[in-house]
Structure 1
């Protein structure tokens, strides 16, 4: 779901905070380094979260290698005339992030330098996260689209495509366990092959 901000907003974050954010390579390296010692990102640590993070590494590696942007999205990116900072709030244990973040990075890489990505870990940036709650929850990943020069918000997106969000709400209402929901959600992502993500990002890019 794409949300338009209120006009005349102040900068979303300081230049120093933006500069201190992780690059995609640094984000992936942080996750790999923690996995090497049996941990993941975030304040909470458990064998379950570490297991999720291990699967997520495999999902991101697969998407890094195989995901391809649609011609329509590539064309829209090439038509951009302004520069943007894409701030992504994420964590290594988040299954949705593993399915989405590599696509966000591919979009940025295809923008001919118009889009630069900056990755922030949710639990280290709760003050920022709490401005972008979903139904009162700190759902991630969350994409903040900012003007590169002023760091003011253009739009935001996340935590997942509308179709996946509907699946989440329906499954939750049916009383499914986390494991049951995760199986359905990742099955949906595998079948959809990033099409819904790309279509929503195409709509977002058209609006820039």
Structure 2
């Protein structure tokens, strides 16, 4: 699909962070006891510290299936993968390390990360039911002329689980609900994420 009016330009990509740069950036924020965005509350500082720990853990433990590896390596045309997130984003810290491992598997894939609150015009082009939900992965052809697919902000199971909780929390505190979510991520080991991304990536291949 041609999206000639989408707000993602080469300048945006050039100024984006690579995944290693994003991890280093988050580590520096933790050292300075601050985070990205306007909310510098203690809660968001804690989220940022936890996100750094999760990313480092997933960097060591995340596995990509052989089937997915073969699919990624079959990409023969340049692609740009743009991730919108924030350093404090819990869902981002769970999914982005795996997405980065995919991008690393093929030199034709350029992965860049930008902050949501610094790029409102881009975020607002990729809302989730009107909300600025992150992370969001947008994949383009190498020249940025064609948007290939959009994924995010989280696996479908969790989107549905959040809907259920919002409708009826059953007395569960939000902090406990978040613990349940992150436990699910740990047990699922990116299986749902891979299952959702596989057909999307497959659809980008030139037949």
TM-score (norm 2): 0.93
- Would the aligned equivalents of 2:91 and 2:154 in 1 still touch at CA under 8 Å? yes
Partner of 1:138: 132
- Distance, in Å, in 2 between the alignment partners of 1:11 and 1:86 is 18
Does residue 200 of the first structure (1) align with residue 200 of the second (2)?
no
Q: 1:74 aligns with which of 56, 64, 69?
A: 69
- Would the aligned equivalents of 1:86 and 1:117 in 2 still touch at CA under 8 Å? yes
Partner of 2:149: 155
Q: 2:98 aligns with which of 103, 119, 143?
A: 103
Gaps of 5+ in 2: none
- Would the aligned equivalents of 1:38 and 1:50 in 2 still touch at CA under 8 Å? yes
- Distance, in Å, in 2 between the alignment partners of 1:91 and 1:16 is 19
Q: Secondary structure at the match of 2:30?
A: helix
| 1:169, distance to aligned residue in structure 2 (A) | 1.2
| 1:104, distance to aligned residue in structure 2 (A) | 0.8
* Cα root mean square deviation, aligned: 1.3
| 1:132, distance to aligned residue in structure 2 (A) | 0.9
| 1:150, distance to aligned residue in structure 2 (A) | 3.4
Does residue 64 of the first structure (1) align with residue 52 of the second (2)?
no
User: How many residues end up aligned between the 2 structures?
Assistant: 201
Gaps of 5+ in 1: 1-6
Note closer, same or farther for the CA distance 1:11–1:27 as it changes in structure 2 (3 Å cut): farther
Q: Secondary structure at the match of 2:131?
A: coil
Give deviations 1:31-67, integer Å, cap 9, x for gaps. Answer: 1111111111112110000111111111100100111
- Would the aligned equivalents of 1:11 and 1:151 in 2 still touch at CA under 8 Å? no
Partner of 1:178: 174
TM-score (norm 1): 0.92
